[in-house]
Each structure stands twice: as C-alpha cells, then as structure tokens.
Structure 1
Amino acid sequence: MALVDYGGSSSSASEDEELIESTHPPTMVALKRPALPTAAALLGPKKPKPEEFVEDVVDDPALHGGRIRSFKHERGNWATYVYVPATACVDQLEEFQTEAISNLSSDLELQPNESLHLSLSRTVVLQYHQIDEFSRSLQAALNSSAGFAATLKGLRIYTNEERTRTFIAAPLDAAFVEKMTAILQPIDQVMLDYRLQPFYDPASFHVSLLWCVGDQQTLLNSKLAELQELLEDQDTLPLAVNKVHLKSGNKDFAYILK
C-alpha cells in the first residue's frame, strides 16, 4: 500500500538526471555497431523508496473543519503520537457525542473526534527513516510496564496550545493517574532520547470527545453541567490499558503490556 498520509524526501537532482533519456539525434557511426542497451533497459526502471510515492501536500483548513496544523506539513515529516485506544467504552462515548452535538447545535458547531484515545505523548515529528528505530526503542522502554483496568470519569474542557481549537474530554479517573504515570515515564524518556518534547507537565490524562474551532472555553464551561447530565446517563466508562500504540503517519504499532 502506498504511503499516502505523509511524504518522504524527494529524490536528488542527480538521481532524476539518471532517468532522463537522451533527446540528441544519433551521430554517424563508422563501424555501425548497434547501440548498447541502457542501464534502465537492463535493470528496469529505478524503484522509488516508499516515501517517494507521496506528492507534496498543501494544507487547506477548509478541507478538515477549519483545523490548523500545529506544525507545517513538509515532505519527510511524519506526525507521530503515542496513545491508548478507548475501545472498551467506544459505543457509550459515541452515543454521548451524538447527544452533545444535538443539544448544543444552536450555540456552536461541535465536531466528533473520530479516533477516541487517551494520549501519552504530544504530537511530534519523525523522519521516515526514524520510525522503525523509534518503535523499537519504545517497545524496549515499555517492556516492563504493567497493564491495568481503569475508568474515565466526568468531563473537562481543554484548548490546544495555540488556542485555535477547544475540546470536550473525559478525564481518567484520579484513582488510576499514578499507574498511568508509571507507563508515561519510559515514553517520556524515549522522547528525550530522540530530542523530542516529553508530555505535558503536569500530565492531564483524558480522551478527547468533541471539538470546535477557536477558544470556546467560557461558553463550554457554562454548558458543562448540561453535558455532564448527558454523560451520567451512560454506565461506567471502562478503559482497558493493556496495549500502548504508536501512530506515525499511516503506520500503527502496538505494544502489549504485562
């Protein structure tokens, strides 16, 4: 499958020139020897590296709900983050998303988060050639980490660092913060080893459920009690922390915890 989410480095000028066929007319050859076959004819066309399949991407916020990238998309940059999927309560969370969007439709336009997960890193940038090595480092770092059964509890309003988006999120129950922090620590160390930013300090573990454009904290905090009633209609929200995932572009790696 072609790598389509994030591109790699383009080929160099010298490499491109190797593929250009000569356009000069043939000269007179006294011995009338047949032309020697080209390297391309003998070896076949040069196969591109996986990251060369991708064309440059022009970011257009109108194509994705007005979202603005935190960093410029460039060929070779792969957006990367570490997370725990919220699969154990996904049906309940999706029901809440639908009800919240309907109830607040007259106040603002909310969008559902499609990937429901608890982040264990910031979104950072890796180069294509770093991904597999980074994954191996992360797997080794998590080798002794223990999994556990947790729950989400309540709601909280967040904005991103640029304050260009506001989120409604379900925080991790405080009873499980210490255990989640024990998993976060080796992940942070791998980030530092690769000269990447560690997670936020203090860490605030949560699953983002809905978002809207701009800084709407004041409005959404005023609606928090109403939203909380919708969530309380749901049963306990379980979070199975038995795997940690690494998402880099369209690649996804999973590490099973003890």
Structure 2
Amino acid sequence: MKPLPHRLFSKALSLLGAKQPKRSTDDEDEDDTTDNPALHGGRIRSFKHERGNWATFVYVPADSCVEQLEDFQTEAIEMLATDLELQMNESLHLSLSKTVVLQYHQIDEFTKSLQQALQSCSGFNSNLHLLEVYTNEEKTRTFLAVKLDAAFTTKMTTLLQPVDLVMRDYRLPKFYEKPSFHVSLLWCVGDYQELLNSKLEKLQQLLDDHDTLKLPVKQVLCKCGNKDFIYKLK
C-alpha cells in the first residue's frame, strides 16, 4: 500500500542522477524521535520512529494531472462530508515501493544502486482511470485512490522490477506480489472500506467529469527522509 503521506515534496535540485539537495540542519538530526499522532492527523506509524531511521520510498510523480486530482479531492470531501471526515493526500504519486527504513550510512549506496538499476529503463505515457478503496496493512487507515489504466500495467511492472531487485539486495521488503498501481487521493483514520465502496459509483462519476488523467512516466523519484533523488528515464 501506499507509503505514509509526507509533507509536500521539496523540489529536487538534481537534473541528472541522484544528487542530494542542500539542507539547513545536520544530516543525522532529521526528525524528532517521538511519534505523536496528534501532529499528523491521527495517523499511526507503521514502524517505530527512531533517530537514525530514514523513511524511504520510490515513486512516480503525478504532476501532470495534479490540478485535476486536487479539484476531485475537494469535490469528494464535500460529497462525503456528512458520512466521513476525509483528508487530502498532500503528495500525489504512484508508489513503486513500500515505505522502508534506511540508516543514514546506507543512503548514498542505496540511491546509487537505484540509479544504476534504472539507467537502462525507458519512459512511457500512461493514464489513470478507475477509483478503488484500499487500507494499509495494519487496517489503521483507509484510502481512496485512482488506479493506473490496466493497459499500462505491464510497462509499470517492468519499471518496478529493478526497484524490487535493489530492495532485495538491501534485504528490504519488495513491493506487493500482485501490485495494484495507483495514486492515493484521500484518507481517513480507521477501516472504512465498506462505507467508501458503497459510495464508489458516485465518486467515479465525479472523477469522470474531469478530463483524461494523463500520467507521463519520464522519471522515477526516491524520497528518503527530507532528501529527494531524481532518476530520469530514457
């Protein structure tokens, strides 16, 4: 499932490869070690947050259709306001990995391994289509997401394979055995699959009122704590 939502991604400074951006604080003092759910909308972390743990995930940005998706987010929240309190996902992207934990000393080698694994991969154009409801593995959150059009599943799976290989090399969990590629749009605390599924038809009609949701896959990004890495595809 989709990794933990993060604050808006800072613009990466790299144009080629995996060059890390400048930081205003010491690298190893990334975050507080205390997990206070009140600070992030009641969300519960999937793993203990300790100093030196860098939450990391790999993804394709959904920048090309972000305005359409943001409009839909607002409309869907209004539609369901009397039934459920939904929150917007701040960062709209399609995940190519689970959220994993790296130690600070692993970051450089890990990101260089990703660069090498992805350097021969080709980009392609795709789009997003049908809505679906998901929960995270712990059933502590429910998500409304829009799925990649099935016509592009094979190409996205091909792009996923080198990412999975890097995860395996670092003894980290690979992506799901049967991946369902999607962009998570809205979330709420708790398991509300049944409720959202009952509203899915109306929500889909709302989404269909928008233009085609184009998703050009021209680059893959890696978010590691507050560091961003860009890998351009051929």
**Structure 2 length as normaliser, TM-score?**
0.89
What CA distance in whole angstroms lies between the structure 1 residues aligned with 2:106 and 2:186?
32
Tell me how far apart the structure 1 counterparts of residues 100 and 136 of structure 2 sit (CA, whole Å).
14
SS at structure 2 position matched to 1:140: helix
Aligned CA distance change for structure 1 residues 250 and 55 (closer, same or farther; 3 Å): closer
In proportion to residue count, which structure has more strand?
A: 2
Distance 2:50 2:40 in 1: 18
Matched ranges for 1:22-61 at <5 A: 50-51=27-28, 53-54=29-30, 56-61=32-37
SS in 2 for 1:78: strand
- TM-aligned CA deviation for residue 226 of structure 1: 1.0
Match of 2:53 among 50, 61, 77: 77
- Over residues 195-225 of structure 1, what are the superposed CA-to-partner deviations in whole Å (9 max), with x where a residue is unaligned? 0000001011000000011000000000001
SS of residue matched to 2:120: coil
1:91 aligns with one of 55, 62, 67: 67
Distance 1:97 1:187 in 2: 29
TM-superposition CA deviations, 1:139-158 (whole Å, max 9, x none) = 00001111000000110000
Give % identity: 68
Q: Following TM superposition, by how much is the alpha carbon of 1:2 offset from its aligned partner in structure 2, in angstroms?
A: 3.2
Q: CA RMSD in A?
A: 1.0
Alignment of structure 1 residues 195-206 onto 2, 5 Å: 195-206=171-182
> Aligned partners of 1:55, 1:207: CA distance in 2, in Å?
26
Q: What CA deviation, in whole Å up to 9, does each residue of 1:77-122 have, x standing for no partner?
A: 0000000000010000000000000110000100000000000000
Moved over 4 A (4+): none
Q: Does 1:164 align with 2:186?
A: no
The structure-2 alpha-carbon separation of the partners of 1:237 and 1:55, relative to structure 1 and needing over 3 Å to count, comes to closer
Cα shift at 1:54: 4.9
User: Matches of residues 38-187 of structure 1 in structure 2 within 5 Å?
Assistant: 50-51=27-28, 53-54=29-30, 56-187=32-163
**Separation of aligned partners in 2, 1:77 and 1:57:** 9
Pair 1:2 & 2:35 matched: no
Deviations 1:55-88 (A, max 9, x none): 6421111111110000000010000000000001
What SS does the aligned partner of 1:155 have? Answer: strand
Measure the CA separation in 2 of the matches of 1:57 and 1:77: 9
Considering only CA atoms, is the larger Rg found in Structure 1 or Structure 2?
1
Report how many residues are paired. Answer: 212
Q: Which residue of 2 aligns with 1:34?
A: none
Q: Which runs of 5+ in 1 are unaligned?
A: 4-48
Any unmatched runs of 5+ in structure 2?
1-22
CA distance in 2, matches of 1:252, 1:233: 34
Q: Residues 11-53 of structure 1: CA distance to partner in whole angstroms, max 9, x if unpaired?
A: xxxxxxxxxxxxxxxxxxxxxxxxxxxxxxxxxxxxxx631x4
Contact 2:30/2:225 (CA < 8 Å) preserved in 1?
no
Residues 55/136 of structure 1: CA separation in 2 closer, same or farther (3 Å cut): closer
Shift in alpha-carbon separation, 1:236–1:56, aligned structure 2, 3 A: closer
